[in-house]
Structure 1
Amino acid sequence: MRNLMLSVVLLGLAACGTPQQQCIGQVTQNLRVLDNLIAETQANLTRGYAVVPAVRSVPEFVNCTPRATEADPDPRRQSCLVRTAQTYSRPAAIDLDAEAAKLASLQAKRQQIVLATSPAILTCQQQYPEPVR
């Protein structure tokens, strides 16, 4: 139920943008992905190591009280110990020279995408002009 409500809210927010903003958002999606990768790579270089997700199994108590029946209308509460997966971040060694080369490559690719998307952004602005306030 919670996921359904979250989905409805997110869809509502996505529809809130003007047609021009939606158009520009579509043509600059790759640029946003690259910006995130550049930020992550710069953070790795600043730290000197990467942070990667890992999963561990942890014990957790859950309610496993039996359902009420005619024979036992008020069953005694019970807890059961189960193992659940927990995601956490852990440090990982990186090759700083390779990471710096990756950053330079990502920045060069970003420049190419900026040049390639500029005409599409202008098209969006012409196709969906914003009202002057």
Structure 2
Amino acid sequence: MPRNIAFAAALIPLALAACGTPQERCIARNTDEYRTVSSLLAEVEGNIARGYAWEERQVVRDRLTQCRDYYRDDEGKVRVGYSPCWRDYVDTERYRVPIDPAAEARKRDNLAARKAALSDRAQAVVSACREAYPEEA
């Protein structure tokens, strides 16, 4: 998944939580740790399945572009012109990182246990939020 799409997909729940119903906001506010652990578990399982992890780094590159130049013409008026110039821009680059399968398996097991422990609390919170803020059909 391209980085921009992943970033937009991560923002959608935040935007929906900000403008959702009181019940949805209650559920989102009280199940954030469960959702975070679930997300981390999915990432670790993906790393194990692929055999490597992804990391990102910022890289500064040059780009040839048009720059605005101001100059005075023969009559003394300020004019605008354009000329080619080099500009720096920052690009985000993803790269593969080797993993230790044993360490990733331990991490997966710990996250799965934590998710199971949080699951009961999350279900109770969802039920409580549904009772406190019933939605009309």
**TM beyond 0.5:** yes
The sequence identity of aligned pairs, in percent, is: 29
Q: Note if 1:125 corresponds to 2:112.
A: no
Structure ranking higher in strand proportion? 2
**What is the match of residue 58 of structure 1?**
61
Following superposition, the deviation at residue 99 of structure 1 comes to 0.4
Match of 1:108 among 91, 101, 113: 113
Q: Which runs of 5+ in 2 are unaligned?
A: 1-12
Count of residue pairs brought into register by the alignment:
124
**What is the match of residue 5 of structure 1?**
none
CA 65–72 in structure 1, closer or farther in 2 if over 3 Å, else same = farther
CA 72–35 in structure 1, closer or farther in 2 if over 3 Å, else same = farther
TM-score scaled by structure 1? 0.79
In 1: Cα distance, 2:68 partner to 2:25 partner: 50
Question: What does 1:83-98 correspond to in 2, within 5 Å?
Answer: 83-98=88-103
Q: Quote the RMSD (CA, aligned, Å).
A: 2.5
**What is the match of residue 37 of structure 1?**
40
TM-score scaled by structure 2? 0.77
Q: Which runs of 5+ in 1 are unaligned?
A: 1-9
In 2: Cα distance, 1:72 partner to 1:47 partner: 63
Q: What CA deviation, in whole Å up to 9, does each residue of 1:83-116 have, x standing for no partner?
A: 3221110001110110011011101001111122
CA 24–69 in structure 1, closer or farther in 2 if over 3 Å, else same = farther
**What is the match of residue 81 of structure 2?**
76
